[in-house]
Amino acid sequence: MAKKISIDLEIKAPQACVRDLEFKVSAQQLQSEYDRVASAFAGMVQIPGFRAGKAPLGMVRSKYASEIAGELRSRVLSAAFEKVTGNKDLDILTLVFKEPVGEIDPQKDLTFTFEANVSPEIDPGDYKSVKVEIPLDAVEDSAVEERIDFYRSMYGSYGSVDEPARAEDMLKVDYTSDFVPAEDASASVKRQAAASDTFVWLNEPESIPGVIAALTGAKKDSECDFKAEYPADYREAALAGKTVSYKVKVKDVQRRSKLDDAALIEKLKVKSIDELRENLRKAMERDNEQARRAKAADAVYKRLDEMAGEFELPPALLSEEISKELQKAARTQVKSEEDAEKFKKEIDAKRAEAEPAARAALRRSLILRKIAKLENITVGDSELEAQLAMMSYQYGYKARDLKSMMEKNGAIDEFRADIANAKVLDKLVETALK
């Protein structure tokens, strides 16, 4: 068995949830390990003029100096990580260099430092005894019939009607407006300004603000004028906050007819309406059970949060959570360069607004992580792959591509932790509902 590097570790606590891990390796240890690395290289490499493994050690050290130095550095860091992971008093969440390992001189003592964010001391209390009462909503016959009626309409076909337009109708129209888009405006912006032989549906979301109210009651060949009030956060910056006057010519009113029993049965590939009712009832019961469990999970976590009491949060992880909250806010609030500049100017206020949600999210993660460790709940590679496959299907990615992206941006460990936390809550909900 190869001799291991002897490395000393001193742990300091400059603040709550932060540990400075100071490592020291003596010159004697470094020189011994350097000699072992050089000898290993000498036994493997082949230098012209010498048989494999027979080149002079000095020549090997000179020719492969950088490779030997790299291997020595790798062995030192490996010994440091082994020292850290073997310390049962350290529950490390993140680990970064504070004083990095530079070029190692085997004839000098080596000192370097890691900064670790460690898990706070969390007492989850008697979490196994948590009980909650969440009633299971019954599936009423009327709800089943309403769902069937929805499918009758959804799969029905549109046809022209000589009646005033009403909700859910589809109107064929021409329209113009007093909004003049820029020459280089996108096709969608230009389509908001004017269009011919286009269709407008009288249901949400509106294609043009106010168009449903304006065209409800309109008949074929009628005309109407209305003003559209575009909200300040409208998706198209060119229209955001503007009031636009429209002139609309209604060319046709179409209404969707509902399918009868025979057509609906054929469309949904069932034997009878009764079979459809039974299938829908079971599906709705499953939905209700999922909703019940979701409410139970919220109620269970609320009790866990209360029982855990106050504890410090690791500063680096809190900073990361605040950044995530800021990114969420930016995605909803920044629609233009002007919005981006405003967001930057208000960044301190935005950060303060984001902090409570960030604290709550980090606190939740740490509490569930603690229980996962107590219950020995882990996420195996097969579970991770299965969850990635499901997510890739939802987002339209190949599973391996999604995994590669998450590994590159450092999100894979967080994803694994989220799965573990969900497993914790699932287990506690099972007990809490009994």
CATH assignment at residue 379: 1.10.3120.10
Q: What is the CATH number of the domain that holds 54?
A: 3.30.70.1050
Per residue in 349-370, pLDDT (tens digit) is 999 999 999 999 999 999 999 9
Question: pLDDT averaged over the chain?
Answer: 91
Percent of the chain clearing pLDDT 90 (strictly above): 70
Whether 166 and 247 share a structural domain: yes
- Cα gap 172→158, rounded to integer Å: 12
Among 216-225, 332-341, 375-384, 402-411, the range scoring the smallest mean pLDDT is: 402-411
Mean pLDDT over residues 94-109, rounded? 85
Residue 160 pLDDT > 70: yes
Domain assignment of residue 109, yes or no: yes
Whether 251 and 287 share a structural domain: no
Whether 242 and 278 share a structural domain: no
Between 56 and 130, name the one with better pLDDT.
130
Among 86-95, 107-116, 119-128, 419-428, the range scoring the smallest mean pLDDT is: 86-95
Domain assignment of residue 141, yes or no: no
Between 98 and 229, name the one with better pLDDT.
229
pLDDT for the residue numbered 424: 95
Domain assignment of residue 50, yes or no: yes
Mean pLDDT over residues 291-306, rounded? 96
Whether 293 and 245 share a structural domain: no
When pLDDT is cut at 50, 70 and 90, the band that residue 151 belongs to is: very high
Residue 2 pLDDT > 60: no
Which of 118, 138, 165 lies at the terminal end of a domain, its last residue? 118
Q: What is the CATH number of the domain that holds 207?
A: 3.10.50.40
pLDDT for the residue numbered 1: 41
Helix/strand/coil (H/E/C) assignment for every residue in the chain: CCCCCCCEEEEEEEECCEEEEEEEECHHHHHHHHHHHHHHHHHHCCCCCCCCCCCCHHHHHHHCHHHHHHHHHHHHHHHHHHHHHCCCCCCEEEEEEEECCCCCCCCCCEEEEEEEEECCCCCCCCHHHCCCCCCCCCCCHHHHHHHHHHHHHHCCCEEECCCCCCCCCEEEEEEEECCCCCCCCCHHHHHHHCEEEEEEECCCCCCCCCHHHHHCCCCCCCEEEEEEECCCCCCCCCCCCCEEEEEEEEEEEEEECCCCHHHHHHHHCCCCHHHHHHHHHHHHHHHHHHHHHHHHHHHHHHHHHHHHCCCCCCHHHHHHHHHHHHHHHHHHHCCCHHHHHHHHHCHHHHHHHHHHHHHHHHHHHHHHHHHHHHCCCCCCHHHHHHHHHHHHHHHCCCHHHHHHHHHHCCCHHHHHHHHHHHHHHHHHHHHHCC
Which of 206, 231, 256 lies at the terminal end of a domain, its last residue? 256
Whether 306 and 427 share a structural domain: yes
pLDDT for the residue numbered 99: 74
Beta carbons of 179 and 244 less than 8 angstroms apart: yes
CB proximity list for 19: less than 8 A, separation 6 or greater: 11, 12, 13, 90, 92, 115, 116, 118
Q: What amino acid is encoded at 364 in this protein?
A: R
Whether 204 and 343 share a structural domain: no
Whether 168 and 300 share a structural domain: no
Among 56-70, 81-95, 210-224, 304-318, the range scoring the smallest mean pLDDT is: 56-70
Query: Angle of helix 412-432 relative to helix 399-408, nearest 10 degrees?
Result: 110
CB proximity list for 236: less than 8 A, separation 6 or greater: 186, 188, 189, 192
Percent of the chain clearing pLDDT 70 (strictly above): 98
Residue 105 pLDDT > 60: yes
Whether 301 and 365 share a structural domain: yes
Domain assignment of residue 373, yes or no: yes
Domain assignment of residue 421, yes or no: yes
Which of 256, 286, 301 lies at the terminal end of a domain, its last residue? 256
Whether 107 and 225 share a structural domain: no
Whether 320 and 237 share a structural domain: no
Among 40-44, 70-74, 112-116, 221-225, the range scoring the smallest mean pLDDT is: 40-44
Whether 316 and 248 share a structural domain: no
Domain assignment of residue 125, yes or no: no
When pLDDT is cut at 50, 70 and 90, the band that residue 53 belongs to is: low
Domain assignment of residue 25, yes or no: yes
Domain assignment of residue 131, yes or no: no
Terminal CA-to-CA distance of the chain, rounded, Å? Answer: 54
Per residue in 213-268, pLDDT (tens digit) is 999 999 999 999 999 999 988 888 899 999 999 999 999 999 999 999 999 999 99
- Cα gap 116→281, rounded to integer Å: 53
Whether 282 and 170 share a structural domain: no
Using CA atoms in the order 90, 92, 98, 101, what is the torsion angle rounded to 10 degrees? 80
Which residues span the domain enclosing 32? 8-118
Total domains in the fold of the chain: 3
pLDDT for the residue numbered 231: 92
Between 405 and 374, name the one with better pLDDT.
374
Mean pLDDT over residues 279-300, rounded? 96
